[in-house]
């Protein structure tokens, strides 16, 4: 077992880190290099930049922020998989696992970690992903158990698609449909359609009620209000 871990920890290859904060990308490289010294890195600050890099060379691992300037990390990961790229992906975010974790786990070869996780948990997740397995945090396991045990108590926001969930987040931040359209490269009409569906699924009537709903359910804890 020890020799197998040593083999994984000294693997050759290159990982791509996609996050819009340079200091986080640099810090993540340093933390990973402490345990995986032979792993090289590429990095990108946007989904567009990441896609251009991924077309030029293969990567052994993908570390992906869920909130990128030009696109939702989930949408980008779906697009990567649609092109047949099976690079194991570790999605990193400050959001609680119960909000995005299950959405990530539904995507092939993908796992979810919070950015404030213990380095040892990051290392274990990386090892499992490299060997073709998923890594599921204890919080996600507890959330899954709660859903299975009490299916009728599942929150309404779990009914939202990934795109609707991203629009919900931007609405809760105070963005107008025009601002959201610009951020997500969508038409204002499409954003308005998403907003209508969000209101219907959450059984709400106004954007103000959307904000109160997200606050009540402790969604998007990174939003400053």
| Model pLDDT, residue 166 | 84
Domain-ending residue, one of 125, 144, 163: 144
Please tell me the pTM assigned to this model: 0.76
| 32 and 98 part of one domain | yes
Regarding whether 164 and 81 lie in a shared domain, the answer is no
39 and 100 fall within a common domain: yes
Q: What CATH number does residue 196 fall under?
A: 1.10.10.10
CA 88 to chain centre: 13
What is the enclosing helix (H) or strand (E) of 143? helix 138-149
- C-alpha to C-alpha distances, 12 to 17, 37, 43, nearest whole angstrom: 16, 9, 17
Residues 63 and 126 in one domain: yes
Do 165 and 140 share a structural domain? no
Output the domain CATH number for residue 67: 3.40.50.2300
Q: Are 59 and 120 within one domain?
A: yes
pLDDT by residue for the chain (225 residues), tens only, comes to 555 566 677 778 999 999 999 999 999 999 999 999 999 999 999 999 999 999 999 999 999 998 888 888 888 998 999 999 999 999 998 877 777 787 888 888 899 999 999 999 999 999 999 999 989 888 888 877 776 676 555 578 878 888 898 899 889 888 999 999 988 888 999 999 999 999 999 999 999 999 888 888 777 655 443
Question: Which residue, of 113, 144, 175, is where some domain finishes?
Answer: 144
Q: Which domain holds residue 208?
A: 155-216
Contacts of 34 (CB under 8 A, 6+ apart): 119
99 found inside a domain: yes
């Amino acid at each position: 077992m020890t020799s197998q871990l040593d083999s994984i920890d000294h693997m050759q290859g290159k990982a791509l880190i996609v996050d819009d904060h340079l200091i986080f990308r640099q810090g993540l490289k340093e933390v990973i290099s402490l345990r995986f010294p032979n792993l090289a890195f590429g990095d990108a600050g946007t989904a567009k930049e990441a896609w251009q890099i991924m077309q030029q060379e293969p990567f052994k691992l993908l570390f992906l922020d869920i909130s990128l300037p030009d696109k939702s990390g989930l949408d980008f990961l779906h697009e990567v998989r649609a092109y047949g790229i099976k690079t194991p992906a570790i999605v990193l975010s400050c959001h609680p696992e119960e909000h995005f974790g299950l959405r990530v786990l539904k995507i092939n070869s993908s796992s979810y970690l919070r950015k404030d996780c213990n380095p040892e948990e990051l290392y274990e997740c990386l090892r499992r992903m490299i060997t073709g397995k998923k890594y599921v945090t204890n919080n996600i396991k507890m959330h899954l158990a709660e859903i299975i045990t009490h299916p009728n108590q599942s929150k309404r926001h779990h009914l939202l698609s990934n795109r609707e969930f991203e629009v919900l987040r931007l609405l809760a931040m105070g963005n107008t449909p025009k601002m959201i359209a610009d951020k997500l490269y969508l038409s204002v009409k499409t954003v308005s359609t998403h907003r209508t569906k969000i209101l219907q699924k959450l059984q709400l009537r106004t954007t103000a009620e959307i904000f109160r709903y997200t606050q009540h359910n402790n969604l998007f804890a990174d939003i400053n209000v």
